[in-house]
Amino acid sequence: VTKAVILVGGPSRGTRFRPLSLDVPKPLFEVAGHSIIWHCLKAVSKVPELKEVILIGYYDENVFRDFIKDSSREFPQIKIQYLREYQALGTAGGLYHFRDAILKGKPDRFFVLNSDVCCSFPLEAMLKLFEEKDAEAVILGTRVSNDAASNFGCIVSDAHSKRVLHYVEKPESHISSLINCGVYLFATECIFPSIRSAIKRKTERPRMISYPSSENLDTSYVADPEEDGEKNEVLRLEQDILSDLADSNRFFVHETKDFWRQIKTAGSAVPANALYLAKAFQSQSPEIATPSANIVPPVFIHPTATVDPTAKLGPNVSVGPKAIIGAGARVKEAIVLEEAEIKHDACVLYAIIGWNSRVGAWARVEGTPTPVTSHTTSIIKNGVKVQSITILGKECGVGDEVRVQNCICLPYKELKRDVSNEVIM
Ligand code: GDD
Ligand code: GTP
């Protein structure tokens, strides 16, 4: 039996995803026509023996209700539930807190997915490696540039055996360009004892500091860390657990050559949208709009959207429900959200147009392209760091013929004059 846990975080997270996360919890933001977590769930649903998915987070109980209802219909073979942490417990704290639910049905292993990554989730390849090596844990890794690597968890591995030799979370100096993708497969019988010993270490350490001269420190007294209150329930997989697992000799890495991106900033939704659209196009998904003179694939158009036949869309464009795109408009590398309207002859490039926003006739809303391999969505322009993607929050208005360039615009703003390289609050 195999299960999957998706870590969805909570309302105090996703701050870098503003202004979009002001109106929708980040995991439910739609790229390529589906919410970010739907893409995780879709991948999980392809693992044949997988029957149960647990979302763990600290959003309100009702946040994922509709998503779970719809997904249960779409993936009837999978039981999906949401378990809510009473506070942010960290990436391992939640797993431990809900261990009874995870252990129910005696799964011998389970996947853990960070919800804020965009990738092809090669879960079957991870399972294969797990079985081949009789592993305790398998982590998904990918190569990034040396400069980018220290923003992630870094893995030093033995290229031949694929064994993880060292793991360091966001190291200060360069140790490896192979990084943690935020996707794991754990043996149930190993991960919980590892977390338990991490808790024990944490509980003991402060005592040792408080009573440095105590000669007869009775460690058996702290043997049950759960008695020790809430603080110690906060545990991070990356800092508290993974580096220890590396000592076990049964921790392996599957390096993916396929696409991978983190979804942190609101702007990073644009590359995620492009990558998932490309994947859907390659697999000939019927959701992708038929290419034509004015549709440069891949493009997703919601069935309830209205697109004028003289507008040119794509590549890498998603148009949400009830959105309207006028005659002669040009939209490229962009996400147009529900009920947004783009008037005739306007141009939207490298941008996200928020729910119910309006872009006037002959207006331009544009960002700047970043290299395809880049793992950041900010660029240096005239010596200042600005967002490469222009984002209009919910219900913004851009006047006719107004040009908005490399800006982030908070909800409900009216832009009547040209703006560039600004955060409009
Ligand atoms: N349930 C729950 N509770 N989820 C959480 C919590 C928590 O307290 N804290 C974080 N998460 C979820 C987030 O929503 C996200 O999906 C995931 O756990 C990781 O988030 P962060 O803790 O912010 O870590 P990070 O994204 O900076 O780095 C992690 O992911 C990188 C890949 O994207 C690390 O695992 C890195 O090593 C890794 O490279
Ligand atoms: P291609 O022509 O598709 O090869 O685009 P490009 O990469 O050469 O140009 P760019 O990325 O700057 O612009 C993308 C598209 O938007 C081009 O087809 C331009 O013709 C079109 N475009 C640029 N500015 C405007 C505008 O103000 N209004 C309209 N309607 N289209 C524009």
Secondary structure (H, E, C), 363-388: CEEECCCCCCCCCCCEEEECCEEEEC
| Positions in the chain short of pLDDT 50 | 208-230
d(CA 21, CA 14): 7
* pLDDT at position 117: 96
Reported as a single tens digit per residue, the pLDDT across 127-154 is 999 999 999 999 999 999 999 999 999 9
- The single-letter DSSP state of residue 240 is I
Q: For residue 1, count other CB atoms closer than 10 A to its CB.
A: 13
Distance CA 305, CA 149 (A): 40
Tokens representing 395 are 């219900």
- The pLDDT value recorded for residue 219 is 41
What pLDDT is attached to residue 386? 79
Structure confidence by residue, pLDDT tens digits, 19-59 = 998 889 999 999 999 999 999 999 999 999 999 999 999 99
* Ligand 1 atom showing the smallest separation from residue 152 Cα: 39
Question: Hunting for tokens 């793991």 — which residue is that?
Answer: 167
Residues whose beta carbon lies within 6 Å of some atom of ligand 1: 7-9, 13, 56-58, 85, 88-91, 94, 114-117, 152-153, 169, 179-182, 238, 262
Residue 348 CA to ligand 2 centre (angstroms): 9
Distance 316 CA to ligand 2 centre (A): 14
Euclidean distance between CA atoms 166 and 150, whole angstroms: 14
The reported pLDDT for the residue numbered 394 is 96
CA distance 52 to 302: 29
Pocket mutation for ligand 1, best pick of 13, 15, 168 (most atoms within 8 Å of C-beta):
13
Report d(CA 285, CA 279) in Å as an integer.
9
Ligand (nearest to CA of 294):
2
- Picking from 338, 385, 390, the residue whose alpha carbon sits closest to that of residue 364 is 390
Amino acid at 341: E
Q: Are 190 and 244 in contact (CB under 8 A)?
A: no
Amino acid at 172: E
How many whole angstroms separate alpha carbon 70 and alpha carbon 224?
41
Ligand 2 midpoint to CA 331 (Å): 8
Amino acid at 135: A
Ligand lying nearest the CA atom of residue 169: 1
Ligand 1 midpoint to CA 114 (Å) = 6
Whole-number pLDDT of residue 214: 42
- The pLDDT value given to residue 12: 77
Atom of ligand 1 nearest to the CA of 116: 16
Dist CA 93 CA 199 (whole Å): 9
Ligand nearest to the CA of 149: 1
Pocket test for ligand 2, best of 294, 344, 348, 349 (most atoms within 8 A of CB): 349
Contact 252, 162 (CB under 8 A): yes
Q: What is the pLDDT of residue 215?
A: 44
pTM of the full structure: 0.87
Q: From ligand 2's centre to the CA of 26, what distance in Å?
A: 30
Residues with CB under 6 A from ligand 2: 328-330, 332, 345, 347, 349, 364
265 Cα: distance to centroid of ligand 2 (angstroms): 26
CA of 218 to the centre of ligand 2 (A): 72
Tokens matching residue 13: 């997270």
Asked whether this complex has an ipTM greater than 0.90, the answer is no
pLDDT the model gives residue 218: 43
**Residue 381: per-residue pLDDT:** 79
Ligand lying nearest the CA atom of residue 342: 2
Choose among 139, 392, 118: nearest CA to 279.
118
> Which residues are CB-contacts of 154 (< 8 A; sequence separation ≥ 6)?
167, 168, 169, 170, 171, 175, 176, 177, 178, 179, 180
Whole-angstrom distance, CA of residue 287 vs CA of residue 307? 16
> Of the residues 316, 347, 405, which should be mutated to test ligand 2's pocket, given the most ligand atoms within 8 Å of the CB?
347
- The residue nearest atom 1 of ligand 1, judged by CA position, is 57
State pLDDT tens for residues 175-226.
Answer: 999 999 999 999 999 999 999 998 888 887 655 444 444 444 444 344 344 4
